[in-house]
């Protein structure tokens, strides 16, 4: 059971300081060789136990440097787990840590179960018998935390979206199985095209899911956060404050920003692509008009819209229009210039168009930035990483991603089997496999569900 190499993020995300990715197992060093290059050019597998090296983590596919890192090597049996252990320690925050984990998984490691390092340590005799009960507690408590998480996610968007694919696959599998197990009952045969269609639709949805999976997106390229508002409300000021540098030009002339400005920002471990845009208004100026058009277009591409309002001047038609047109988006509404006297209040905003927006009031000129940062993080956490996030959150998600990928592989196999004209029982291997992998995310027993559904859907038996 312990012949697989396991990997996990060993530090909680969101925490300041270093991030650690740990690998344990017979392939740990081999994997390290492929992604770590030390200053001296020595591969990790040539290092003795208990040694540390400084170097670069390089993605073997793109050959690009991911980050600089310290590599720790501990050799079996003199390591925590009793197996070969490799640790990558780096400063780059969640994104880097996640990238390293993904590379390790790609190179053949398997994601560690909760408490699995400790369990291996015990099984390999590195932890004393008297500590066995403590080990059980660790395994138990961590697993329970992850179960809780699973329940949370069950209600979450991922599960809902998997739900749709699952239903279609169930329909298909149930029909296939009914046809196979009740050959003498008159169940309509499956047409090849019909099956291919369902599988292809499932594949497409899985691909969409994998591509846009909030987590994957956040971690690979960052959330796209678009700052919008009418002219002169303080959009560029907000960008500058968040970046903590004078990136965009700020003047008291409305229409200062005429094009888009994009910057990447690491907000407490969450990468954001922050985009400042031209103020929205009718303009005679061609350049400005193009800028406004571009800004409006960006709304639809945004993961998050930060709508800035000026509390010191009366609301205008532009403010209302923006509110109405962005109401389907995740939004933070920033009421700026709180250092000046307020000339309107919240009740003046059309409540119907406010939706679930987080509303904060600040002064970008002299106030603290925390309310805005917290509002953004809140939204991100809700949709992506849970509040009170721990290493578990992201691990569970990496597990989900792996499960989705396996399901996809199975469906591809089923499709290939189908299109090469092979029979139903071979096609069903891939279909059932896909369902079972999706079932890993939701924690259900697929085989029994299929049988139940056969009886519920078909009038069979004599």
Ligand X SMILES: Nc1nc2c(ncn2[C@@H]2O[C@H](COP(=O)(O)OP(=O)(O)OP(=O)(O)O)[C@@H](O)[C@H]2O)c(=O)[nH]1
Q: Footprint of Mg ion on this chain (CB under 5 A)?
A: 236, 256-257
Whether 8 and 97 have beta carbons less than 8 Å apart is answered as no
Residue 307's binding partner among ligand X, other proteins, Mg ion, none (Cβ under 5 to 8 angstroms by kind) is none
What are the start-end ranges of the E strands in 158-269? 223-228, 261-267
Residue 351's binding partner among other proteins, ligand X, Mg ion, none (Cβ under 5 to 8 angstroms by kind) is none
Give Cβ neighbours of residue 342 (< 8 Å, ≥ 6 apart). Answer: 311, 312
Q: Which residue is nearest to ligand X (CB)?
A: 279
Q: Which is nearer to Mg ion, 275 or 393 (CB)?
A: 275
Q: Rule CB under 8 A: is residue 451 a binding residue for other proteins?
A: yes
Phi, psi (deg, nearest 5) at residue 61: -85, -50
**C-alpha 363, offset from chain centre:** 32
Q: Rule CB under 8 A: is residue 416 a binding residue for other proteins?
A: no
Q: Rule CB under 6 A: is residue 250 a binding residue for ligand X?
A: yes
Give Cβ neighbours of residue 202 (< 8 Å, ≥ 6 apart). Answer: 165, 168, 169, 411, 434
Q: Rule CB under 6 A: is residue 291 a binding residue for ligand X?
A: no
Q: How far is the CB of 366 from other proteins (least distance, A)?
A: 53
Could you tell me how many residues of this chain bind ligand X (CB under 6 A)? 23
Show the binding pattern over residues 341-370: x = contacts ligand X (CB under 6 A), - = does not: ----------------------xxx-----
Q: Rule CB under 8 A: is residue 421 a binding residue for other proteins?
A: yes
Strands across the sheet with 51-58, in order? 36-38, 51-58, 65-74, 85-90, 19-24, 6-9, 110-111
Binder among 14, 44, 93, 115 for other proteins (CB under 8 A): 115
Residue 422's binding partner among other proteins, ligand X, Mg ion, none (Cβ under 5 to 8 angstroms by kind) is other proteins
Distance, in Å, from the CA atom of 148 to the CA atom of 300, rounded to the nearest integer, reads 34
Q: Rule CB under 6 A: is residue 432 a binding residue for ligand X?
A: no
Q: Rule CB under 8 A: is residue 184 a binding residue for other proteins?
A: yes
Give Cβ neighbours of residue 255 (< 8 Å, ≥ 6 apart). Answer: 231, 232, 278, 279, 281, 283, 285, 288
Q: Rule CB under 6 A: is residue 233 a binding residue for ligand X?
A: yes
Residues in the chain: 462
The interface region with ligand X, picked from 56-64, 315-323, 333-341, 443-451 by CB under 6 A, is: 333-341
Binder among 16, 41, 129, 341 for other proteins (CB under 8 A): 129
Largest Cα–Cα distance of the chain, in whole Å?
Answer: 84
Whether 385 and 158 have beta carbons less than 8 Å apart is answered as no
Contact residues for ligand X, defined by CB under 6 A = 229, 231-237, 250-252, 254-257, 279, 336-337, 339-340, 363-365
């Amino acid at each position: 059971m312990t012949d697989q190499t396991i990997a996990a993020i060993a530090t909680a995300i969101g925490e300041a300081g270093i991030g650690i990715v740990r690998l344990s197992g017979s392939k740990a060093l081999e994997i390290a060789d492929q992604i770590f290059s030390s200053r001296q050019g020595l591969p990790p597998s040539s290092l003795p136990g208990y040694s540390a090296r400084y170097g670069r983590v390089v993605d073997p596919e793109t050959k690009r440097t991911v980050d600089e890192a310290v590599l720790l090597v501990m050799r079996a049996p003199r390591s925590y787990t009793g197996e070969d252990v490799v640790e990558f320690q780096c400063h780059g925050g969640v994104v880097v840590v996640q990238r390293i984990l993904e590379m390790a998984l790609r190179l053949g490691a398997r994601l560690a179960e909760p408490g699995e390092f400790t369990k291996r340590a015990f099984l390999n005799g590195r932890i004393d018998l008297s500590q066995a009960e403590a080990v059980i507690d660790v395994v138990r408590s961590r697993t329970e935390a992850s179960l809780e998480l699973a329940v949370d996610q069950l209600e979450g968007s991922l599960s809902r979206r998997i739900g749709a694919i699952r239903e279609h696959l169930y329909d298909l599998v149930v029909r296939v199985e009914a046809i196979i197990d009740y050959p003498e009952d008159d169940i309509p045969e499956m047409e090849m095209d019909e099956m291919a269609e369902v599988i292809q639709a499932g594949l497409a949805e899985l691909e969409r899911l994998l591509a846009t999976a909030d987590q994957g997106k956040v971690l690979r390229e960052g959330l796209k956060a678009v700052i919008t508002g009418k002219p002169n409300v303080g959009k560029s000021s907000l960008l500058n404050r968040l970046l903590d540098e004078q990136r965009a030009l700020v003047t008291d002339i409305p229409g200062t920003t005429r094009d888009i400005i994009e910057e990447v920002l690491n907000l407490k471990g969450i990468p954001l692509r922050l985009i400042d845009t031209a103020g929205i208004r009718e303009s005679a100026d061609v350049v400005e008009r193009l800028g406004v058009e571009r800004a409006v277009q960006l709304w639809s591409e945004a993961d998050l819209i930060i709508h800035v309002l000026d509390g010191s001047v009366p609301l205008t038609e532009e403010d209302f229009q923006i509110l109405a047109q962005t109401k389907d988006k995740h939004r933070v509404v920033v009421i700026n210039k709180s250092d000046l006297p307020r000339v309107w209040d919240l009740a003046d905003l059309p409540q119907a168009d406010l939706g679930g927006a987080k509303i904060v009031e600040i002064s970008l000129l002299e106030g603290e930035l925390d309310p805005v940062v917290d509002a953004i993080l809140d939204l991100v956490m809700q949709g992506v990483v849970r509040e009170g996030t721990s290493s578990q959150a992201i691990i569970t998600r990496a597990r989900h991603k792996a499960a989705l990928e396996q399901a996809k592989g199975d469906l591809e196999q089923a499709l290939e089997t189908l299109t090469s004209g092979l029979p139903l029982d071979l096609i069903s291997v891939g279909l059932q496999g896909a369902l079972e992998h999706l079932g890993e995310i939701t924690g259900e027993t697929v085989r029994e569900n299929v049988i139940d559904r056969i009886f519920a859907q078909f009038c069979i038996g004599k």
